[in-house]
Amino acid sequence: MNTEHLVTMANQIGDFFQSYPDQELAKKEIVTHLKRFWASSMREQLMEHVKQQGAGLHPIVRDAITQHQASLL
């Protein structure tokens, strides 16, 4: 899948959870959503993108993936 499309979709998820008052919980929920609804190949591609600076990703999404990477495997 196109990385730019994955970034767009991940940012939409981040936009939803960004409104949580507890930002750590928001990050966990982002990762939970990715794990529950995204194919492993999509998650792996997004994690690789984050390793390469994660251009275009909202900070909360990039942080969620970085902090909870083991949960996405």
The pLDDT assigned to 62 comes to: 98
Whole domain around residue 21: which residue ranges? 3-72
Instruction: Provide the pLDDT for residue 2.
Output: 95
Q: How many CB atoms lie within 10 A of CB 26?
A: 20
The reported pLDDT for the residue numbered 65 is: 97
User: Please, are residues 31 and 64 in contact by the beta-carbon 8 Å criterion?
Assistant: yes
Asked if residues 60 and 14 have their Cβ atoms less than 8 Å apart, the reply is yes
Q: Would you say residue 1 has pLDDT above 90? A: no
Structural contact between residues 31 and 65, judged by C-beta atoms closer than 8 angstroms: yes
Euclidean distance between CA atoms 64 and 73, whole angstroms: 14
Encode pLDDT of 4-55 as tens digits: 999 999 999 999 999 999 999 999 999 999 999 999 999 999 999 999 999 9
**Whole-angstrom Cα distance, residue 59 to residue 41?**
22
Count of domains forming the chain? 1
